Amino acid sequence: MKKFRQSIDQQVLNAEQKWKALPEARQRILTKIFFAVYTLLTIAAFVQIWWSAAHCKPIPIGGHISNIPAGVNVNQKATK
């Protein structure tokens, strides 16, 4: 597990060094692109959820339960 953590830490440090090596203008452009993609994915997820909820069949509501199912003993107390 220690080797795995060191490997992940090394990958993060490498990514940070590459990011810091980019010019500031390029960092701003990439940040805007990442944010735009994130926003579009979020909107797409909301639209998909709304669309599926708007076009699904309603769940039928059954009537009142009038009998006790077979095999259920009402006289037994619940145990912890």
DSSP 58: P
Q: Please tell me whether the overall predicted TM-score, pTM, comes out greater than 0.75 for this model.
A: no
| Element counts in the chain: helices (H) and strands (E) | 2, 0
Q: Give the separation between CA 24 and CA 16, rounded to whole angstroms.
A: 14
The answer on pLDDT for 79 being more than 70 is no
Look at residue 76 in the predicted model and tell me its pLDDT. 60
pLDDT computed for residue 69 by the predictor: 73
Say if residues 55 and 48 touch (Cβ distance below 8 Å). Answer: no
Spatial CB neighbours of 16, under 8 Å, sequence gap ≥ 6: none
Top pLDDT among 75 and 48 is at 48
22-45 pLDDT, tens digit each: 999 999 999 999 999 999 999 999
Q: Are the CB atoms for 34 and 40 separated by under 8 Å?
A: no
